[in-house]
Protein backbone atom coordinates (compact mmCIF):
# COMPACT_ATOMS: atom_id res chain seq x y z
CA UNK A 1 0.00 0.00 0.00
CA UNK A 2 1.77 3.09 -1.21
CA UNK A 3 -1.00 5.63 -0.92
CA UNK A 4 -1.98 5.56 2.72
CA UNK A 5 -3.77 8.71 3.76
CA UNK A 6 -1.55 10.38 6.30
CA UNK A 7 -2.81 12.25 9.33
CA UNK A 8 -2.33 15.87 8.12
CA UNK A 9 -4.25 15.14 4.91
CA UNK A 10 -4.99 18.28 2.95
CA UNK A 11 -8.19 17.76 0.91
CA UNK A 12 -7.73 21.05 -0.97
CA UNK A 13 -4.26 20.16 -2.17
CA UNK A 14 -5.49 16.69 -3.13
CA UNK A 15 -8.39 18.18 -5.08
CA UNK A 16 -6.11 20.63 -6.88
CA UNK A 17 -3.62 17.96 -7.81
CA UNK A 18 -6.44 15.70 -9.01
CA UNK A 19 -7.77 18.47 -11.26
CA UNK A 20 -4.34 19.47 -12.48
CA UNK A 21 -3.49 15.89 -13.21
CA UNK A 22 -0.49 16.30 -10.93
CA UNK A 23 1.74 13.47 -9.77
CA UNK A 24 -0.78 12.45 -7.11
CA UNK A 25 -3.71 12.42 -9.48
CA UNK A 26 -3.15 8.96 -10.88
CA UNK A 27 -2.75 7.35 -7.49
CA UNK A 28 -5.80 9.04 -6.00
CA UNK A 29 -8.20 8.48 -8.86
CA UNK A 30 -7.03 5.39 -10.75
CA UNK A 31 -5.83 2.98 -8.10
CA UNK A 32 -8.75 1.53 -6.20
CA UNK A 33 -7.30 2.27 -2.79
CA UNK A 34 -9.60 0.81 -0.18
CA UNK A 35 -9.05 3.82 2.06
CA UNK A 36 -12.58 5.18 2.10
CA UNK A 37 -16.02 3.61 2.29
CA UNK A 38 -15.48 -0.11 2.59
CA UNK A 39 -19.30 -0.01 2.60
CA UNK A 40 -21.00 -1.27 -0.53
CA UNK A 41 -19.29 -1.07 -3.88
CA UNK A 42 -15.76 -0.30 -2.72
CA UNK A 43 -15.94 2.93 -4.68
CA UNK A 44 -13.28 5.48 -5.36
CA UNK A 45 -12.25 7.44 -2.27
CA UNK A 46 -14.87 10.14 -1.93
CA UNK A 47 -16.34 12.47 0.63
CA UNK A 48 -19.71 11.84 2.16
CA UNK A 49 -22.58 14.21 1.52
CA UNK A 50 -24.63 15.76 4.27
CA UNK A 51 -27.78 17.61 3.25
CA UNK A 52 -29.56 19.64 5.86
CA UNK A 53 -33.18 19.71 4.84
CA UNK A 54 -34.46 22.75 6.70
CA UNK A 55 -37.25 23.79 4.37
CA UNK A 56 -40.61 22.15 3.83
CA UNK A 57 -41.27 24.05 0.60
CA UNK A 58 -42.09 21.84 -2.37
CA UNK A 59 -39.33 23.15 -4.63
CA UNK A 60 -36.65 22.82 -1.97
CA UNK A 61 -37.77 19.37 -0.91
CA UNK A 62 -37.65 18.38 -4.58
CA UNK A 63 -34.07 19.63 -4.84
CA UNK A 64 -33.14 17.76 -1.68
CA UNK A 65 -34.59 14.50 -2.99
CA UNK A 66 -33.00 14.86 -6.43
CA UNK A 67 -29.57 15.49 -4.95
CA UNK A 68 -29.88 12.82 -2.25
CA UNK A 69 -30.99 10.08 -4.66
CA UNK A 70 -28.38 11.04 -7.27
CA UNK A 71 -25.64 11.19 -4.69
CA UNK A 72 -26.51 7.70 -3.44
CA UNK A 73 -26.66 6.48 -7.05
CA UNK A 74 -23.13 7.79 -7.52
CA UNK A 75 -21.92 5.72 -4.61
CA UNK A 76 -21.56 8.59 -2.17
CA UNK A 77 -22.56 7.88 1.41
CA UNK A 78 -25.45 10.31 1.83
CA UNK A 79 -27.15 11.58 4.94
CA UNK A 80 -30.02 14.02 5.17
CA UNK A 81 -30.54 15.77 8.49
CA UNK A 82 -34.16 16.86 8.62
CA UNK A 83 -35.06 19.72 10.84
CA UNK A 84 -37.65 22.42 11.37
CA UNK A 85 -40.04 22.70 8.41
CA UNK A 86 -38.10 19.93 6.71
CA UNK A 87 -39.24 17.55 9.43
CA UNK A 88 -42.87 18.02 8.37
CA UNK A 89 -41.95 16.39 5.06
CA UNK A 90 -41.13 13.12 6.78
CA UNK A 91 -44.38 12.82 8.69
CA UNK A 92 -46.60 10.13 7.17
CA UNK A 93 -48.87 11.44 4.40
CA UNK A 94 -51.83 9.89 6.20
CA UNK A 95 -51.29 12.03 9.31
CA UNK A 96 -53.45 15.11 9.39
CA UNK A 97 -53.01 16.54 12.88
CA UNK A 98 -49.91 15.90 14.92
CA UNK A 99 -48.73 17.11 18.31
CA UNK A 100 -49.78 16.85 21.90
CA UNK A 101 -50.91 20.32 22.92
CA UNK A 102 -53.19 22.77 21.12
CA UNK A 103 -50.36 24.89 19.70
CA UNK A 104 -48.58 21.90 18.18
CA UNK A 105 -51.88 20.64 16.80
CA UNK A 106 -52.77 24.01 15.39
CA UNK A 107 -49.36 24.35 13.70
CA UNK A 108 -49.86 21.00 11.98
CA UNK A 109 -53.38 22.03 10.99
CA UNK A 110 -52.05 25.24 9.43
CA UNK A 111 -49.38 23.37 7.49
CA UNK A 112 -50.41 19.90 6.53
CA UNK A 113 -47.53 17.46 7.04
CA UNK A 114 -46.37 14.77 4.60
CA UNK A 115 -44.25 14.73 1.45
CA UNK A 116 -47.29 14.71 -0.82
CA UNK A 117 -48.71 17.88 0.72
CA UNK A 118 -45.91 20.35 0.12
CA UNK A 119 -46.63 23.92 -0.88
CA UNK A 120 -44.57 26.14 -3.16
CA UNK A 121 -42.79 29.05 -1.44
CA UNK A 122 -44.21 31.29 -4.14
CA UNK A 123 -47.02 30.99 -6.68
CA UNK A 124 -48.81 28.55 -4.40
CA UNK A 125 -52.25 30.07 -5.10
CA UNK A 126 -54.17 27.78 -2.75
CA UNK A 127 -52.59 24.70 -4.26
CA UNK A 128 -52.93 25.70 -7.92
CA UNK A 129 -49.15 26.11 -8.24
CA UNK A 130 -48.23 22.69 -6.81
CA UNK A 131 -51.00 21.05 -8.82
CA UNK A 132 -49.65 22.52 -12.06
CA UNK A 133 -46.12 21.57 -11.08
CA UNK A 134 -47.32 18.01 -10.49
CA UNK A 135 -49.03 17.91 -13.87
CA UNK A 136 -45.95 19.29 -15.63
CA UNK A 137 -43.68 16.86 -13.79
CA UNK A 138 -45.79 13.95 -14.96
CA UNK A 139 -45.86 15.26 -18.50
CA UNK A 140 -42.08 15.60 -18.60
CA UNK A 141 -41.29 12.37 -16.78
CA UNK A 142 -39.96 14.08 -13.67
CA UNK A 143 -40.16 11.87 -10.61
CA UNK A 144 -42.15 13.27 -7.71
CA UNK A 145 -40.45 14.04 -4.37
CA UNK A 146 -42.15 10.96 -2.96
CA UNK A 147 -40.81 8.66 -5.68
CA UNK A 148 -37.34 10.15 -5.24
CA UNK A 149 -37.56 9.69 -1.48
CA UNK A 150 -38.42 6.02 -1.97
CA UNK A 151 -35.52 5.59 -4.40
CA UNK A 152 -33.18 7.39 -2.00
CA UNK A 153 -34.22 5.16 0.89
CA UNK A 154 -33.83 2.05 -1.28
CA UNK A 155 -30.28 3.12 -2.08
CA UNK A 156 -29.39 3.60 1.56
CA UNK A 157 -29.71 7.36 2.10
CA UNK A 158 -29.95 7.94 5.82
CA UNK A 159 -32.60 10.43 6.94
CA UNK A 160 -31.82 11.71 10.42
CA UNK A 161 -34.59 13.59 12.23
CA UNK A 162 -33.76 16.46 14.57
CA UNK A 163 -34.71 15.46 18.10
CA UNK A 164 -35.22 19.04 19.28
CA UNK A 165 -37.66 19.85 16.45
CA UNK A 166 -39.52 16.58 17.01
CA UNK A 167 -39.99 17.54 20.65
CA UNK A 168 -41.02 21.09 19.86
CA UNK A 169 -43.61 20.01 17.28
CA UNK A 170 -44.73 17.12 19.48
CA UNK A 171 -43.84 14.56 16.81
CA UNK A 172 -43.51 10.96 17.89
CA UNK A 173 -41.47 8.28 16.06
CA UNK A 174 -44.74 6.64 14.96
CA UNK A 175 -45.78 9.89 13.23
CA UNK A 176 -42.76 9.63 10.95
CA UNK A 177 -42.41 7.55 7.77
CA UNK A 178 -40.78 4.11 7.94
CA UNK A 179 -37.02 3.83 7.79
CA UNK A 180 -36.01 7.07 9.49
CA UNK A 181 -32.65 7.08 11.23
CA UNK A 182 -32.04 7.56 14.92
CA UNK A 183 -32.93 11.15 15.99
CA UNK A 184 -29.90 13.34 16.61
CA UNK A 185 -28.90 16.93 17.27
CA UNK A 186 -26.70 19.79 16.12
CA UNK A 187 -23.51 18.23 17.46
CA UNK A 188 -24.01 15.24 15.16
CA UNK A 189 -24.40 17.60 12.21
CA UNK A 190 -21.33 19.64 13.07
CA UNK A 191 -19.40 16.45 13.71
CA UNK A 192 -20.24 15.11 10.25
CA UNK A 193 -19.54 18.48 8.61
CA UNK A 194 -16.09 18.75 10.13
CA UNK A 195 -15.17 15.13 9.54
CA UNK A 196 -15.71 13.89 6.03
CA UNK A 197 -18.98 15.31 4.73
CA UNK A 198 -19.65 17.99 2.20
CA UNK A 199 -22.47 19.96 3.80
CA UNK A 200 -25.41 21.39 1.92
CA UNK A 201 -28.10 23.48 3.58
CA UNK A 202 -31.42 23.48 1.76
CA UNK B 1 -16.43 -4.24 -32.73
CA UNK B 2 -16.21 -7.04 -30.20
CA UNK B 3 -19.54 -8.55 -29.26
CA UNK B 4 -20.53 -7.90 -25.66
CA UNK B 5 -23.23 -9.84 -23.94
CA UNK B 6 -25.79 -7.58 -22.33
CA UNK B 7 -26.70 -8.86 -18.87
CA UNK B 8 -29.53 -6.45 -18.29
CA UNK B 9 -31.41 -3.69 -20.03
CA UNK B 10 -32.61 -0.57 -18.30
CA UNK B 11 -35.30 1.42 -20.05
CA UNK B 12 -35.36 4.99 -18.77
CA UNK B 13 -37.00 6.46 -21.84
CA UNK B 14 -39.36 9.27 -20.98
CA UNK B 15 -37.81 9.79 -17.56
CA UNK B 16 -36.11 13.02 -16.57
CA UNK B 17 -33.11 13.71 -14.42
CA UNK B 18 -32.18 12.08 -12.07
CA UNK B 19 -34.20 8.93 -12.75
CA UNK B 20 -32.00 7.45 -15.54
CA UNK B 21 -29.05 7.56 -13.12
CA UNK B 22 -31.12 6.27 -10.21
CA UNK B 23 -32.43 3.38 -12.37
CA UNK B 24 -29.04 2.39 -13.74
CA UNK B 25 -27.47 2.56 -10.27
CA UNK B 26 -30.16 0.33 -8.84
CA UNK B 27 -29.88 -2.10 -11.74
CA UNK B 28 -26.10 -2.36 -11.55
CA UNK B 29 -25.85 -2.81 -7.79
CA UNK B 30 -26.80 -6.50 -7.44
CA UNK B 31 -24.90 -7.59 -10.56
CA UNK B 32 -21.50 -9.26 -10.51
CA UNK B 33 -18.37 -7.37 -11.50
CA UNK B 34 -17.93 -7.25 -15.26
CA UNK B 35 -21.64 -7.48 -16.03
CA UNK B 36 -22.73 -5.37 -18.97
CA UNK B 37 -25.82 -3.22 -18.74
CA UNK B 38 -27.58 -1.34 -21.49
CA UNK B 39 -29.34 1.92 -20.72
CA UNK B 40 -31.87 3.65 -22.92
CA UNK B 41 -32.74 7.25 -22.11
CA UNK B 42 -34.36 10.26 -23.72
CA UNK B 43 -33.18 12.81 -21.15
CA UNK B 44 -30.72 15.10 -22.91
CA UNK B 45 -28.82 15.59 -19.67
CA UNK B 46 -28.01 11.90 -19.54
CA UNK B 47 -25.13 12.29 -22.03
CA UNK B 48 -23.12 14.20 -19.46
CA UNK B 49 -24.71 12.56 -16.43
CA UNK B 50 -23.99 8.96 -17.39
CA UNK B 51 -20.36 9.87 -18.04
CA UNK B 52 -20.16 11.66 -14.67
CA UNK B 53 -21.78 8.72 -12.94
CA UNK B 54 -19.31 6.31 -14.52
CA UNK B 55 -16.38 8.50 -13.46
CA UNK B 56 -17.66 8.69 -9.89
CA UNK B 57 -18.47 5.02 -9.49
CA UNK B 58 -15.67 3.51 -11.57
CA UNK B 59 -17.96 1.64 -13.96
CA UNK B 60 -16.87 1.67 -17.58
CA UNK B 61 -18.86 3.36 -20.32
CA UNK B 62 -18.05 1.10 -23.25
CA UNK B 63 -20.47 2.40 -25.83
CA UNK B 64 -22.58 5.48 -26.37
CA UNK B 65 -24.78 6.04 -29.38
CA UNK B 66 -27.83 8.06 -30.25
CA UNK B 67 -30.40 8.17 -33.01
CA UNK B 68 -31.19 11.76 -32.13
CA UNK B 69 -34.09 10.87 -29.87
CA UNK B 70 -32.97 7.94 -27.76
CA UNK B 71 -29.57 7.79 -26.13
CA UNK B 72 -28.08 4.37 -25.82
CA UNK B 73 -25.35 3.55 -23.32
CA UNK B 74 -23.53 0.32 -22.64
CA UNK B 75 -21.83 0.11 -19.26
CA UNK B 76 -19.57 -2.52 -17.79
CA UNK B 77 -19.88 -2.91 -14.05
CA UNK B 78 -16.76 -2.37 -12.00
A197 strand-pairing partners: A48
> Which residues in chain A have Cβ-Cβ distances shorter than 8 Å to B52?
74
When pLDDT is cut at 50, 70 and 90, the band that residue A22 belongs to is very low
Give the tens place of pLDDT for each residue, A66-123: 999 999 999 999 999 999 999 999 999 999 899 999 999 998 888 889 999 999 988 8
Cβ neighbours of residue A201 under 8 Å, at least 6 residues apart? A51, A52, A54
DSSP one-letter code for B42: -
Please tell me which residue, A66 or A7, carries the higher pLDDT value.
A66
**Which of A70, A77, A142 has the highest number of chain B CBs within 10 A, making it the mutation to test binding with B?**
A70
ipTM, two decimals, is 0.84
Contact B58 A43 (CB under 8 A): yes
pTM above 0.90, yes or no: no
**Which of A29, A32, A41 has the highest number of chain B CBs within 10 A, making it the mutation to test binding with B?**
A41
Contact A41 B14 (CB under 8 A): no
Query: What 3-state class would DSSP assign to B71?
Result: strand
Amino acid sequence: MTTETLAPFDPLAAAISAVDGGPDAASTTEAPTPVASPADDGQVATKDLLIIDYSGDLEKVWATMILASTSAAMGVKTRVFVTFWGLQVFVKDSKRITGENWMQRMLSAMQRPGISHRKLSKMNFLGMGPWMMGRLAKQYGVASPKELLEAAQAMGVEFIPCQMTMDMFGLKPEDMIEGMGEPAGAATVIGLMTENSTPLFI
Amino acid sequence: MPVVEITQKVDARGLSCPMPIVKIAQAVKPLPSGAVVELLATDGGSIKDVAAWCRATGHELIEQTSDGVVYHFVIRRK
